[in-house]
């Protein structure tokens, strides 16, 4: 029988090279992609806030699966949080962390 491992602390910090960040931001700001997100979020437009975070394991201190300092975006109707598409991560040559989430502001 497998045991559950309780994680008390998870280091969600990461650093992107300037080249990787520039490429990723370019993909995340692509007008076609922005339109897709706006459609899914049922709003007129969205704007990339340039905020990224690494999803974290669900714990009592991180019940939303994100660093606590980003939870207010999750609780707001003015923002939408998406998982960065894996092909964007690959194109930007970002392999660690393996997953990122991006925060967009809804514009009505």
pLDDT of residue 72: 93
- CA 20-93-71 angle, to 5 degrees, is 65
Structure tokens given for 104: 């967009």
- Per-residue pLDDT for 94 more than 60? yes
C-alpha to C-alpha distance for 65 and 59, rounded to whole angstroms: 8
Residue of 18 and 13 predicted with greater confidence: 18
pLDDT of residue 58: 77
pLDDT of residue 12: 57
Looking at the DSSP bridge assignments, the partners of residue 45 are: 107
pLDDT tens string 27-73: 999 999 999 999 999 999 999 999 999 998 877 777 888 888 899 99
What percentage of residues in the chain have a pLDDT greater than 90? 69
């Amino acid at each position: 029988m497998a045991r559950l491992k309780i994680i008390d602390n998870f280091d969600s910090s990461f650093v992107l090279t300037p080249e990787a960040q520039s490429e990723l931001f370019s993909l995340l700001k692509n007008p076609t992609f922005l339109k897709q997100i706006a459609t899914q979020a049922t709003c007129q437009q969205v704007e990339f806030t340039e905020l990224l975070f690494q999803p974290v394991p669900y714990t009592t201190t991180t019940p939303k699966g994100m660093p606590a300092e980003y939870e207010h975006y999750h609780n707001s109707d003015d923002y939408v949080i998406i998982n960065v598409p894996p092909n964007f991560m690959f194109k930007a040559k970002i392999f660690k962390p393996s997953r990122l989430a991006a925060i967009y502001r809804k514009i009505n």
